[in-house]
Amino acid sequence: FSKVIDDLITVCKFMECENLSEVYQYLSMFSERKPNIIPRSRLVALLYTADSHRLLGKYSYQNLIVQDMEEAGVPEAIIKDEICQDFIDSVLVRAVYDVLRLATANRARKRRKIVHLLKHWREIQPSADYHDHQIYLKGNFKDESFLFNSIGSWSELWVSRLMLEFLCLGFELDLYALHEVDMMLWSVDFLLQSLSETRQRMKKYKTKLVEHEIVELMAQLQTDSQKKTVKKKSKSAKELKEKKKRLNRLKNEGHKVPVNKFRDDERYLQEMLRNLSSGTLCTILGLRCKGVYKDPDLSFGNRETRYAQRLKCLSGLRPDVYDFQVFQNVSDTSKYKEQNIFSTSNAKLTQVKRIATQLMKRDVAPWFDAYRKKKLMSLVRVSVSNNLLSQTIPSGSGTRKFQHSVQNSFGYLPMIKLA
């Protein structure tokens, strides 16, 4: 009963959230507490109030999505376009609400519901790309390099969250066989790498679009000044003032992205998970190089079939992790030397602790602080344990029984053990 009361108090703190990144982080934290149906049902009522049709009774989903796009790096000109606004109202509001409502399901059901949500996002992504193309055509750009899927890239960020949670819940619920662990670790690593590349592309495109608008405004102001000297008549002073004001704002703030501590924390955490998954995968490959661990001989099926079965629900989406040939090439131990692969593993797993130390120093909301510390310490314990494993197993010690287990309370990635 005391846990129910504690969970209900946590639900009350939900009222302090102010943006989608904070809401998503809160709901992830709440879901990992594994609350029962009573506090979860109270949370549902706050996600969409019947009288005001708003989140927490005060935030419009349309405005929250616009704010989230700005923080993700979608250019202002695209967000304010009518085509984008219509797409937000007709499609994205419901899609984002469904993602947030995932927190009201228990952990096993949550993973099953992610599969159904991904089917919906599989339809949303091509539609987002289509709307991006329509905005490009409307802008009359002469250079095709300005054709970029800004809304589509924003959708990738949300799809990546769902895909990452789907993969990590598989570890928590102990759904993966021993010989599937390296496949899933590679999928997590590849997914987070693709996510990082998407962010970089969005940042570069926004900078390019802002610079293009600055050049156009300067050309227009120069033309207006020439007309004034020749005809002694210019456009209205109000229009000129607005153009100059817009130009100054673009020069000073156009390249900047609104700061959001929760989005930054999420990016740091994803970088930790990427290093942890990549480092653990290198440890497994190093153990194979040592001859300590060997894959079981599958009597039925093969690794490619297993890979397809595990990741079939992620196919047809961006980022694309449904490529066994790439994984097969990465996991080929004949390409690696034992010393090099363990050095790479040590570097990546050590990086986890360094990032955690940086995150500990960052200010955060009081309700999130204790949860973040426990999460970071759990990930550091896993990284240290997996790093020590490669240093304690001597070469030529014979084949050992391979085990993996999720020892931390957050169930992200596994500790590797040899019996």
| Per-residue model confidence as pLDDT tens digits over 370-402 | 888 888 888 888 888 888 887 776 555 555 565
Average pLDDT score over residue span 208-236: 65
User: Using CA atoms, how far apart are residues 233 and 229, in angstroms rounded to an integer?
Assistant: 8
| Per-residue model confidence as pLDDT tens digits over 295-304 | 666 666 788 8
Residue, of 41 and 364, whose pLDDT is higher: 41
* Phi, psi of 188, deg, nearest 5: -65, -45
pLDDT at 228: 54
User: Using CA atoms, how far apart are residues 284 and 255, in angstroms rounded to an integer?
Assistant: 42
Residue, of 250 and 351, whose pLDDT is higher: 351
Least confident range of 43-47, 209-213, 266-270: 209-213
Taking every pair of Cα atoms in the chain, the longest distance, rounded to a whole number of angstroms, is 92
- Res. 200: pLDDT tops 80: yes
Residue, of 185 and 406, whose pLDDT is higher: 185
Least confident range of 89-93, 276-280, 396-400: 396-400
pLDDT at 291: 76
pLDDT-derived band at 413 (thresholds 50, 70, 90) equals confident
Q: Which two tokens stand for residue 92?
A: 């994205």
pLDDT-derived band at 231 (thresholds 50, 70, 90) equals very low
Distance of CA 214 to the CA centre of its chain: 31
| Per-residue model confidence as pLDDT tens digits over 306-324 | 888 888 888 889 888 878 8
pLDDT-derived band at 233 (thresholds 50, 70, 90) equals very low
Q: What is the pTM of this model?
A: 0.86
* Phi, psi of 7, deg, nearest 5: -65, -40
User: Using CA atoms, how far apart are residues 370 and 43, in angstroms rounded to an integer?
Assistant: 21
Residue, of 3 and 61, whose pLDDT is higher: 61
